[in-house]
Amino acid sequence: MQGWHPREYELCVDLYARHGVDLARQPLLDVGSVCRRQGSAEAERIVSLLNNLGLNRLHLYGSKTLGLARFAPRIESSDSMAWSFAARYQPRLRSCLHLGHCGNCRRYALRWRSRLPASLAAQRADATVS
């Protein structure tokens, strides 16, 4: 699933339907171009649009943490290279024996992931106060 404007995602769904593919019956629907969104509200509009079309098992590529704080309960999964980008500019973890930064390091990725739920909760709380 690709698009830029929400309407383009809707047209993509229509295109699949015209060719006999019921996207709601698919085990997972990949949603691209989310990583290029600077505003998480725009990504949230796309998620809402797809949910309203009955598409609830979504995988988003490149979701920002701010976006996940807004719509994580309404998607199945997401991925991001934010952890890798951050690791390139941080000192290597003391427990790591590899050379160079941890930008491709499983240990760093798992550590990043383990902290994500608390980060999302804090961002949701901040959004509620604002």
Amino acid at 54: G
The pTM (predicted TM-score) of the whole model is 0.80
Q: How far apart are CA 53 and CA 104, in angstroms?
A: 37
pLDDT in tens, 68-113: 888 989 999 988 888 899 999 999 999 999 999 999 999 999 999 8
DSSP secondary-structure letter at 108? H
Buried b (16+ CB within 10 A) or exposed e, 83-103: bbeebeeeebeeeeeeeebbb
Q: Give 58's strand partners.
A: 29
